[in-house]
């Protein structure tokens, strides 16, 4: 059984990003809009997995679909569930169970954090902070959030991969 997890974040157009996640068996893709500070929200929730709270949630705006990511810590693992709601304007208070489950996987926190960290660093390497703002338009690159996650991952996960 594989523990691998792959994640990518590509600025695919003005104000849009393509987010891909796959765990070796099933792939999932979302086209995320700049209506929310999506990459910052993702990195913040990842960092939250190192804190006292067992559950982290954030939502991407797929205009108008809400893609809600629910991350649950289970010891050294994280259970990831992505649920979709038809309209983010009306669903932000809706309970998780009302959404349609579109992707789920359980992976070690270190694998998830590593994959997200590498993807965000690639975005920064590819575009730089100026290029990022030009493409994403509404928010600056989340440099602080990225540094925080990198620090937590290196300090708390026994990650043998290259950084
Ligand atoms: Zn790592």
Residue 4 binned pLDDT confidence (cut-offs 50, 70, 90) = confident
Alpha carbon distance 162, 128 (integer Å): 21
Residue 3 binned pLDDT confidence (cut-offs 50, 70, 90) = confident
Residue 159 CA, ligand 1 centroid: distance in Å: 5
pLDDT at 1 over 60: no
Residue 140 CA, ligand 1 centroid: distance in Å: 25
User: CATH code at 11?
Assistant: 3.30.2450
Enclosing domain of residue 140:
6-156
Segment 127-153, tens digit of pLDDT: 999 999 999 999 999 999 999 999 999
Q: Does any domain span residue 115?
A: yes
Alpha carbon distance 146, 42 (integer Å): 10
Residue 115 CA, ligand 1 centroid: distance in Å: 8
Residue 54 CA, ligand 1 centroid: distance in Å: 21
Residue 87 CA, ligand 1 centroid: distance in Å: 35
Residue 86 CA, ligand 1 centroid: distance in Å: 35
Mean pLDDT of the chain: 96
Residue 7 CA, ligand 1 centroid: distance in Å: 13
Q: Does any domain span residue 161?
A: no
Instruction: Count Cβ atoms within 10 A of the Cβ of residue 74 and give its class: 0-12 exposed, 13-18 middle, 19 or more buried.
Output: exposed
Look at phi and psi of residue 128 and say left if phi exceeds 0, alpha if psi is from -120 to 50, else beta: left
Residue 108 CA, ligand 1 centroid: distance in Å: 11
Over residues 97-118, mean pLDDT: 97
Domain count, the chain: 1
pLDDT at 52: 94
In whole angstroms, how far apart are CA 136 and each of 28, 33, 70, 109, 146?
Answer: 22, 9, 24, 28, 17
Q: Does any domain span residue 162?
A: no
pTM of the model: 0.96
Segment 56-101, tens digit of pLDDT: 999 999 999 999 999 999 999 999 999 999 999 999 899 999 999 9
Q: Does any domain span residue 30?
A: yes
Residue 50 CA, ligand 1 centroid: distance in Å: 14
Residue 25 CA, ligand 1 centroid: distance in Å: 21
For the CA atoms of 51, 139, 142, 93, what is the dihedral angle to 10 degrees? 20
pLDDT at 2: 60
pLDDT at 122: 98
Residue 121 CA, ligand 1 centroid: distance in Å: 12
């Amino acid at each position: 059984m594989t523990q691998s997890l792959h994640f990518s974040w590509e600025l695919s157009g003005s104000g849009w990003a393509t987010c891909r996640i796959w765990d070796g068996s099933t792939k999932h893709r979302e086209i995320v809009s700049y209506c929310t500070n999506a990459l910052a929200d993702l990195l913040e929730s990842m960092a939250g997995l190192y804190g006292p709270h067992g559950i982290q949630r954030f939502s991407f705006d797929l205009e108008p679909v809400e893609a809600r990511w629910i991350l649950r810590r289970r010891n050294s693992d994280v259970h990831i569930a992505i649920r979709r709601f038809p309209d983010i304007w009306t669903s932000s208070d809706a309970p998780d169970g009302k959404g349609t489950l579109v992707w789920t996987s359980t992976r070690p926190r270190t694998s998830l954090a590593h994959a997200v960290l590498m993807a965000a660093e690639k975005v920064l390497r590819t575009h730089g902070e100026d290029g990022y703002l030009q493409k994403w338009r509404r928010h600056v690159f989340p440099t602080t959030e990225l540094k925080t996650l990198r620090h937590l991952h290196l300090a708390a996960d026994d990650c043998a991969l290259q950084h």
